[in-house]
Amino acid sequence: MPLTRRSFVQLSIGSMLSTSAARLLAQGVSAHKAQSIARPPASGRPFNARFVDIASAAGLRAPVIYGGVENKKYILESTGCGCAFFDYDNDGWIDIFLLCGTRLGGDPPEATNRLYKNNRDGTFTDVTEKSGLGAVGWASGVCVGDYNNDGFEDLFCTYFGQNRLYRNNGDGTFTDVTKAAGLWNDQPRWGAGCSFAISTCSSPTMFDSPSNMRQFRERTATAIGKASRSSAGPGACPPGDTHFTVTTAMELSPTSVSGLASPRLRRATG
């Protein structure tokens, strides 16, 4: 989703002006009576742990772009992004997926998410182009889960703009199935943290009736797949267990850009 400096400022000002004074004044930290725990005395044992930055030697040399270099004027530029350690090709070795942002003044050539394949010798190879995971935007969070139960782990990435779901094809490549999964939004959102949740035997009554399923869908903004009612009775898992993505995102309606409506905060629960 293209985002210019002018449109970002309009979006921010419109959202701020449309928020009532009462809501703004209600922000704060609630009081609590919990007492802090005293720090135990030092054990006296030596601490010989030492960490060494080996990113460059391991092949992780591409910069992570996120906002301005000299200064950051907006919150968007200062939030940063996440990463995921997962075995995308099922070879038994953990690979690395790094998110990336961009700049308000334009997209630098190196601004893209990157997938690094583990070479099994302490180094990694950038396989972003081959994997199909190259993407430019304001990425925020990422979670890993096999949402379609094919044995290969998939990726869900949150963004300022449009969240994205990538299906692992099992051959080292990924396909963006955001629209096919029903997760595309015509209105811009500010995606935050995300996670995959699964309906299991531990929650046998979640989909035990059409009414419960309808209520779940109404409360869940980003549902993936279709839930099927188990005919085996309570406590039994239906074949092909259903996965859902749960994310917290700020949904900004088009009218909020011009300052006529307030942003709506939606939490996908369940």
- Supply 95's token pair: 């690979």
> Which residues neighbour 188 within 8 Å (Cβ) at sequence distance 6 or greater?
1, 11, 160, 161, 162, 251, 252
pLDDT tens, residue order, the chain (270 aa): 566 666 666 666 665 555 555 555 555 556 677 888 888 888 889 888 899 999 999 999 999 999 988 888 888 888 889 999 999 999 999 999 999 999 998 999 999 999 999 999 999 999 999 999 999 999 999 999 999 999 999 999 999 989 999 999 999 999 999 999 988 888 888 888 888 876 654 444 444 444 443 333 334 434 333 333 333 344 444 444 444 444 444 444 333 333 322 333 333 333
- Supply 78's token pair: 């200062």
Three-state secondary structure of the chain:
CCCCHHHHHHHHHHHHHCCCHHHHHCCCCCCCCCCCCCCCCCCCCCCCCCCCCCCCCCCCCCCCCCCCCCCCCCHHHHCCCCEEEECCCCCCCCEEEECCCCECCECCCCCCCEEEEECCCCCEEECHHHHCCCCCCEEEEEEEECCCCCCCCEEEEEEEECCEEEEECCCCCEEECCCCCCCCCCCCEEEEEEEEEECCCCCCCCCCCHHHHHHHHHHCCCCCCCCCCCCCCCCCCCCCCCEEEEEEEEECCHHHHCCCCCCEEEECCC
* Cα–Cα–Cα angle for 111, 112, 117, rounded to 5 degrees: 130
Strands across the sheet with 83-86, in order? 83-86, 95-98, 114-118, 124-126
CB distance 81 to 100 below 8 Å: yes
Residue-level pLDDT at 237 = 47
CB atoms under 10 Å from CB of 267, counted, come to 12
Rama region for 168: left / alpha / beta (φ>0; ψ in -120 to 50; rest): beta
Residue-level pLDDT at 3 = 64
- Supply 220's token pair: 């869940």
* pTM of this structure: 0.64
CB distance 187 to 250 below 8 Å: no
Residue-level pLDDT at 185 = 86
